[in-house]
Chains A and B, each alone.
Chain A
């Protein structure tokens, strides 16, 4: 069996357990060991994955939710194993629950993007790209057939799809045609390469002399995306040769942890001043100046904008349906591997 298959399967198991238990740690697994056993038994058979579709699994083995918990406490009877085979196992769209019924039919499409960037020691933007996902939360009655199209699909460098997406329409005219699973799922992930600028700048300066090193980090908005930039953080690991550090900032808080990780949480960048962090690092005895330099990892979050510029053109139901159907679109960009070298 290919190693990647094993890795992917383990990831899937982790995802499913995470969905079921609302997290994944030793205590949760102990507390729900029966469900974990049952799930594992269902997910793998003789070393080969059997049922991995979350929709089917949830119908077969009920997740431990509050209602069932209360019920089991009251009645003392808890069977979380379904008595019937989920209908989806027999359908052409095994990822979809067979008979979903909703009073309000709605679909929400989120563009969630991560920006990867590398800024070299000279301050040059070496690499900047967006890794995004189209996350869909659908609650639609029956078996809907949706199409989603983009205004500018040509900017996409590469894509990966959920298995519900049909390949043909995408190949011929870049339209996503799919029967969505029920609930939240990742419809596609995409990548946009070679972006030209970043929304914020981070300028670290380290000057060392006589066994100490002065640090000065400035953060500011470079290209205003039009929306507020939230939860900005700057994080770096002090080089091993640093004995102690004293860092202060004019905005936000600075924390230095025992593993030499420094975190500067700025939050929202204020309009009136440029946040900066200054301080001194005391180097090891005998070391005149710093010869290795930390890399600053930057985090931020911008609601309401997709920095890649990708735009959803429209979302349609293929067949006309008797019920009303709400659509919602959102976008979010956050920092991925956004690194500034000093």
Chain B
């Protein structure tokens, strides 16, 4: 703000001589390579290492690539000196992405540093580790972040929050939920500093996860003033989005009132309150609707997503969807009130970004009276912060467009200083003309008069345009403006009389444009002005200005008394100087003559026609083709008139005037231009949220997010979440469990089991709770793992093949003690294991299995024949390599079809005849396995009839489709049969012990894990919401099992249920399936583990153990795909 900054900098730069450079690193920068760097790096002295690193840094700064030192530098990461560490980290982060393999070498050191007692070391290690951005170490980073999120040091926790977006950037889906969980934890932190960083993480990681905010909202609001400024900016945005999603828009806000007004405005009834606010612009804009419509549009744009915008702008009906009343809440809503209360002191912040963010909240949410609060702070920012001036002004402009009354009294603040840049000046002019009212306009115009004498002529021209705008807005001032513009023109003409000065043309042109727009308001009363302008034609030399005057003359040729009398003289003059005119003027002259001819009475027409024919003739020989075209056009239209001149007969008859070309000419030239009230700047069809980058650049910048849909967050969902989460938050206090030296997994297990450590004895009680369920629902069989085979409840084992045996306590414990294969999994797995679980069996599940049908041939392509296929769970009788399919043929046409048969594509090539196809088994008999055991031929299929056939196919490949040929009524249809890897296995009914046993042999590289989200159960749950007969867990188990069995030919081995006090937490649910690969009879084991709340989308982790790795991986991918797929009813 004050000049001392620049002055000292200047003087110091001059003095930046030797004396000042002593002790700085200048010599390192000037000659980084004057010594051999490599041995220094290997030195045992920290100071030498440090120097070497500084030299490397200097080289980086100068743009050299010093990546070849990477291995040597990485070694130094273990140094004890903090400065060496810091420099190594700088180097490492610069090159890590280029040299990932070497970067991995440093991981161990980071891991060690994470346990350092010095928080600074821990924080830096975390920052560097997360900054490396390698997929390979993402799980390690996640563990580190999780740990640091509970660090006792605020600084480390803050760094942990900052590391989350880095992890998120790697786009590892399986970690998303874990990251979001940490975000939630950090948002709940005691320290405002951490909350700020967590807010920024939230905004990048999961900006729409409002459920995470639910309970925290109030706390976040309260802590908002203490959060550091950068966090405030982000947090304000998050809270605003939350309130909109949760409660919708506020009834008292200007947004709502303007929308409402628009709805009523058909009758021009404006509510009493608004009346005084809007009287001003009602007069100004002619119709009161315009402005509220604009405001309405602005607010709609705030909540409109880009796709909606596109569909709206492309559809002919450009209306906005009406907002429903349910999308609004009143300002007395507590959350809204709190948000407004907490953001209003931020309007006093020293940081202009905070002020603007807070102003944005008030703009959208506050009631009309409160919106006024934002005016002064915004204007103050405008003055006190130079750098942010332009951005603030752009935002103020939008506010003022929607609600000029806000800024009316503050017009002085927009007066222009000579030091302002041109962009600022232009914006301020727009503001001034937009907020001018009858009381302020004299002052503003006076200001404008000063501006016109500014040496910057472009700015002067803009000022003239602004005067025109003011006159249009406030018709009372129009006369004064006009007079003033005319003197300006006169003055300009005198000044630039002999020699046109650069930029003067623009001012003159702008002046005439402004006059034109004023005249348009009420042409008859400005007759004299037009005459004056026409008279000055011989002094005005600017072609565009001349063209405009000529246009005006043509347009208003029949106005008043004097103009028609002038016309013939003027036109003669114009025709006379036609040849020397510029292009645009020539075109206007032709137009003007045409218009005049259309309007004039009979008696003058003779001379006018001569003028026309003269001008047309000149134009026809013009060098410019545009003018030649125009002249031909005019000539054709007025051919009758031109001829009439030669014939001089009764051609001027009225009957002739009515002929086609006359009517056409009337339409083209005579039609009074529909008063397109051209606003000086086109109203942007889109507006963006205040303060966003998009608002400045006028297009959706990457990362721009509109506000969420009002009230899109249902209450019950949130409340449910609140209830479920209550347990979590008691425990999640970072200070409660933050001891950094506890690296043991138990630290994490407590984190996972929200209900605290649930030991085995605990589960007894819960089981009795489950018993009720059992009584009401015979499908579920419950037993307690702790009680093992005793089975006190007297439930007998139904001997369906699907039932798994109960697991003895010992077996469970041995499973727990098994070393987990993946280190990253370890913590999670153990966490899960600490809770007890009950094993249940679900009977009768097979009956609910629906196999999926695929389309082989659709009736449109198949001449009315529709063929669907589904994989059947039966095994082939011929050889196990064959896969059985059920084919369903349906005749959708009106004629009967005959001789339907499906054969292998290859064999059909050799023998084209359809009859031989049934022999395909023989034709391929040279191989061991037949590629296709063909189905029985369908001799005829009547319309509407359906036939089912079984087909056995051998797929060569797991994933590639098999090409087949379908013959029907002599026609050949090529079809593709897509394999489903889920049916390349057959059920392997085994006991849980066997499963465990087999699984333990298939560890390590035979084990693959992937995660996905599962949502099918939600619908099921909702369906059963009112009946309490079903247990949530059971529904989830069933929906997973059904989905699994419907898509893969496996058998259900067991279902483990967590036994916890928290009935809504499905974490720990575990289903096991087993199958056997058809081709080689190898077992393929599948374990599905569930995480998350019952009512939410569950995070599922699927594990496949299979000896054949390629098959196993493909199988896993398939399973994950169909589990993640939504069921049809939902989609």
* A interface residues with partner B (beta carbon < 8 Å): 1-5, 7-11, 18, 22-25, 27-28, 30-35, 37-38, 41, 45-50, 52-53, 60, 64, 68-73, 76-85, 89-90, 94, 112, 114, 116, 118, 120-121, 126-127, 131, 133, 157-163, 167, 170-171, 186, 189, 191, 193, 237, 239-241, 286-289, 291-295, 297, 337, 339, 341
Are B25 and A339 interface neighbours, CB within 8 A? no
Are A85 and B495 interface neighbours, CB within 8 A? no
The residues in B between 497 and 531 inclusive whose CB is less than 8 angstroms from any CB of A are 498-499, 501
Q: From A4, A32, A69, A81, give the contact of B691 (CB < 8 A).
A: A4
Q: What would 19 A/B residue contacts be, using CB atoms closer than 8 Å? A: A2-B233, A4-B233, A4-B388, A10-B387, A23-B13, A25-B12, A41-B89, A46-B162, A48-B165, A52-B228, A73-B23, A85-B123, A89-B153, A118-B417, A127-B412, A131-B384, A158-B380, A167-B225, A293-B455
Are B454 and A78 interface neighbours, CB within 8 A? no
Shortest C-beta distance, A48 to chain B (Å), equals 5
Task: Report the separation of the CA atoms of residues A341 and B90 in the bound assembly, to the nearest whole angstrom.
Answer: 53
- Stretch in B352-360, B605-613, B709-717, B1068-1076 with 4+ CB within 8 Å of A: B352-360
Q: From A64, A81, A121, give the contact of B24 (CB < 8 A).
A: A64
Given A89-B154, A126-B412, 7 more pairs with CB closer than 8 A: A64-B24, A160-B377, A160-B380, A189-B380, A241-B501, A292-B453, A295-B418
Are B8 and A23 interface neighbours, CB within 8 A? yes
Answer whether A69 and B9 are a contact pair too, CB < 8 Å, given A85-B118, A158-B380, A289-B495: no
* Total chain B interface residues with beta-carbon distance under 8 A: 104
Are A76 and B118 interface neighbours, CB within 8 A? no
Which residue of the partner chain A has the closest CB to B418? A295
Are A292 and B457 interface neighbours, CB within 8 A? yes
Shortest C-beta distance, B19 to chain A (Å), equals 10
Q: From B377, B455, B499, give the contact of A239 (CB < 8 A).
A: B455
Task: Report the separation of the CA atoms of residues A47 and B26 in the bound assembly, to the nearest whole angstrom.
Answer: 28
Are A83 and B82 interface neighbours, CB within 8 A? yes
Answer whether A90 and B153 are a contact pair too, CB < 8 Å, given A4-B352, A50-B158: yes
Are B499 and A30 interface neighbours, CB within 8 A? no
Instruction: Render B3-41 as a binary contact track against A, CB cut-off 8 A, 1 for contact.
Output: 001001111110010001111111011000000000000
Chain B residues, Cβ within 8 Å of A121: 449-450, 453
Answer whether A69 and B415 are a contact pair too, CB < 8 Å, given A27-B13, A50-B159: no
B392 within 8 A of A: yes
Are B391 and A3 interface neighbours, CB within 8 A? yes
Chain A residues, Cβ within 8 Å of B225: 167
Are A291 and B2 interface neighbours, CB within 8 A? no
Chain B CB within 10 Å, residue with most, of A79, A127, A292? A292
Shortest C-beta distance, A260 to chain B (Å), equals 10
B737 within 8 A of A: no
Instruction: Render B299-321 as a binary contact track against A, CB cut-off 8 A, 1 for contact.
Output: 00000000000000000000000
B986 within 8 A of A: no
Chain B residues, Cβ within 8 Å of A82: 82, 120
Are A8 and B417 interface neighbours, CB within 8 A? no
Q: From A41, A90, A163, give the contact of B350 (CB < 8 A).
A: A163
Are B349 and A161 interface neighbours, CB within 8 A? yes
Q: From B61, B81, B446, B498, give the contact of A120 (CB < 8 A).
A: B446
B692 within 8 A of A: yes
Chain A residues, Cβ within 8 Å of B98: none
Are A5 and B25 interface neighbours, CB within 8 A? no
A/B pair count, beta carbons within 8 Å = 263
B193 within 8 A of A: yes
Answer whether A33 and B388 are a contact pair too, CB < 8 Å, given A2-B357, A121-B453, A189-B350: no
Which residue of the partner chain A has the closest CB to B165? A46
Are B90 and A37 interface neighbours, CB within 8 A? yes
Are A33 and B356 interface neighbours, CB within 8 A? no
Are A76 and B47 interface neighbours, CB within 8 A? yes
Chain A CB within 10 Å, residue with most, of B16, B349, B454, B460? B16
B842 within 8 A of A: no
Chain A residues, Cβ within 8 Å of B691: 2-4
Which residue of the partner chain B has the closest CB to A190? B380
Chain B residues, Cβ within 8 Å of A25: 9-10, 12-13, 16
Are A31 and B120 interface neighbours, CB within 8 A? no
Main SS class of interface, B: helix
Are B353 and A34 interface neighbours, CB within 8 A? no
Task: Report the separation of the CA atoms of residues A52 and B261 in the bound assembly, to the nearest whole angstrom.
Answer: 46
Task: Report the separation of the CA atoms of residues A77 and B47 in the bound assembly, to the nearest whole angstrom.
Answer: 6
Are B357 and A90 interface neighbours, CB within 8 A? no
Task: Report the separation of the CA atoms of residues A68 and B22 in the bound assembly, to the nearest whole angstrom.
Answer: 10
Answer whether A189 and B9 are a contact pair too, CB < 8 Å, given A4-B391, A79-B81, A291-B453: no
Are A237 and B162 interface neighbours, CB within 8 A? no
Q: From B83, B127, B159, give the contact of A81 (CB < 8 A).
A: B83
Which residue of the partner chain B has the closest CB to A294? B455
Are A112 and B2 interface neighbours, CB within 8 A? yes
Are B450 and A120 interface neighbours, CB within 8 A? yes
* B interface residues with partner A (beta carbon < 8 Å): 1-2, 5, 8-13, 16, 20-26, 28-29, 47, 50, 54, 57-58, 61, 81-83, 86-87, 89-90, 118-120, 123, 127, 130-131, 153-155, 158-159, 162-163, 165-166, 193, 197, 200, 225, 228-230, 233, 237, 345, 348-353, 355-357, 376-377, 379-381, 383-385, 387-388, 391-392, 412, 415, 417-419, 443, 446-447, 449-450, 453-455, 457, 460, 491, 495, 498-499, 501, 691-693, 696, 703
Task: Report the separation of the CA atoms of residues A33 and B381 in the bound assembly, to the nearest whole angstrom.
Answer: 33
Q: From B1, B26, B81, B83, give the contact of A31 (CB < 8 A).
A: B26
Task: Report the separation of the CA atoms of residues A127 and B444 in the bound assembly, to the nearest whole angstrom.
Answer: 12
Are A131 and B25 interface neighbours, CB within 8 A? no
Q: Which 8 A-B pairs have the closest CB atoms?
A: A69-B23, A167-B345, A4-B353, A23-B9, A23-B12, A31-B26, A295-B418, A81-B83
Q: From B351, B449, B499, give the contact of A8 (CB < 8 A).
A: B351
Chain B CB within 10 Å, residue with most, of A22, A32, A37, A64? A37
Q: From A8, A50, A64, A294, give the contact of B23 (CB < 8 A).
A: A64
Chain A residues, Cβ within 8 Å of B692: 2-3
Which residue of the partner chain A has the closest CB to B355? A160
Are B23 and A4 interface neighbours, CB within 8 A? no
Task: Report the separation of the CA atoms of residues A294 and B456 in the bound assembly, to the nearest whole angstrom.
Answer: 10
Answer whether A70 and B357 are a contact pair too, CB < 8 Å, given A5-B233, A23-B8, A48-B162: no
Task: Report the separation of the CA atoms of residues A37 and B130 in the bound assembly, to the nearest whole angstrom.
Answer: 19
Chain B residues, Cβ within 8 Å of A77: 47
Are A161 and B453 interface neighbours, CB within 8 A? no
Task: Report the separation of the CA atoms of residues A53 and B158 in the bound assembly, to the nearest whole angstrom.
Answer: 14
Are A186 and B350 interface neighbours, CB within 8 A? yes
Shortest C-beta distance, A264 to chain B (Å), equals 16
Chain A residues, Cβ within 8 Å of B501: 241, 287, 291
Q: From B12, B349, B457, B703, give the contact of A28 (CB < 8 A).
A: B12
Shortest C-beta distance, A111 to chain B (Å), equals 13
Answer whether A191 and B197 are a contact pair too, CB < 8 Å, given A2-B353, A69-B24: no
Chain B residues, Cβ within 8 Å of A289: 495
Chain B residues, Cβ within 8 Å of A171: 345
Which residue of the partner chain B has the closest CB to A60? B120
Task: Report the separation of the CA atoms of residues A208 and B351 in the bound assembly, to the nearest whole angstrom.
Answer: 48
Chain B residues, Cβ within 8 Å of A27: 13, 16
Shortest C-beta distance, B911 to chain A (Å), equals 67
Task: Report the separation of the CA atoms of residues A60 and B159 in the bound assembly, to the nearest whole angstrom.
Answer: 15
Task: Report the separation of the CA atoms of residues A213 and B61 in the bound assembly, to the nearest whole angstrom.
Answer: 54
Shortest C-beta distance, B462 to chain A (Å), equals 15
Which residue of the partner chain B has the closest CB to A193? B412
Are B499 and A4 interface neighbours, CB within 8 A? no
Chain A residues, Cβ within 8 Å of B356: 2, 4
Chain B residues, Cβ within 8 Å of A31: 16, 20-21, 24-26, 29
Are A7 and B455 interface neighbours, CB within 8 A? no
Chain B residues, Cβ within 8 Å of A38: 86, 90
Which residue of the partner chain B has the closest CB to A338? B417
Are A191 and B392 interface neighbours, CB within 8 A? no
Are B58 and A33 interface neighbours, CB within 8 A? yes
Q: From B155, B412, B696, give the contact of A85 (CB < 8 A).
A: B155
Task: Report the separation of the CA atoms of residues A159 and B197 in the bound assembly, to the nearest whole angstrom.
Answer: 27
